Amino acid sequence: MRLPLTLALLCLTTPVAAAVAAPAQAPQPGWPCEGQPPAALALSRYWPGADGAQARGWRSDATVAALVRDIAPRSLSEADGIARIADLGARATDRRRTMAALVAGLVEEIDRERQAIIAGIRRFNKRQAQLARRIEQSYDMMDRQGAEADGASPTGQQQAGQEALEWDTQIFEDRQRMLPVICRQPAMLENRLKSFAEAARKVADGAAPAS
């Protein structure tokens, strides 16, 4: 079935719903997901009253830097990360300073991954737009060839073109089905960071964080 360019591009410009954790702006051209994600995550949103020294100095604390490297990646479960935060708090001599430094490091490292994913989504959408245009051009060429053939059997070149068109269309549709999952990734990272920051604040206040 023919996928007209206008319909293909509509798929690429109609935002795909995603549970965005942070306040989102209106979608910009080339962004296929619902809500424009913030350009950067602000430390003050996750640790109110944080100062610049905390944001810049977390690497100077080897224990904090090691924990940031361990729990920022999604390979570690959220529950395990929260347990590790509680363990660090139990050993810290200054829980509030340690937790503030930890959150500063997590904001920086998790946002680095989030921004890489956002850039990847934009590249994905650009490739889809290019493929949609190629599909439309292939259909136009086949229409012209069909009119010129005037009922004659398709040539080998025309059959090869038909197969290539079907393959391109299948790739486009398969990729498009992946888009809702891809769109959720930035928000999932924001939610992970939010959970870690909440756990750190509870530890700083002397309470046990809920896993």
Q: How far apart are CA 137 and CA 207, in angstroms?
A: 63
Contact assessment for residue 171 and residue 151, using Cβ atoms and an 8 Å cutoff? no
**3-class state of residue 7 by DSSP:** helix
Percent with pLDDT over 70 in the chain: 78
Round to whole Å and give the CA distance between 50 and 197: 12
Residue 18 makes CB contacts below 8 A (sequence gap 6+) with 33, 34, 35, 180, 183, 184, 186, 187
Mean pLDDT (the chain, rounded): 85
- Determine what percent of the chain falls in helix, strand and coil, rounding each to the nearest 5: 70, 0, 25
List, for residues 21-68, the tens digit of each pLDDT value: 444 455 567 799 988 899 999 999 999 987 766 667 899 999 999 999
Query: Residue 19: which pLDDT band, with cuts at 50, 70 and 90?
Result: very low
- CA-CA distance, 157 to 88, in Å (whole number)? 67
188 pLDDT higher than 80: yes
What is the per-residue pLDDT across 158-187, written as a single tens digit (0 to 9) for each?
A: 788 888 899 999 999 999 999 999 999 999
pLDDT band at 16 (very low <50, low <70, confident <90, very high): low
Report the pLDDT value the prediction gives residue 21, as an integer from 0 to 100.
46
Work out the average pLDDT over 197-209: 90
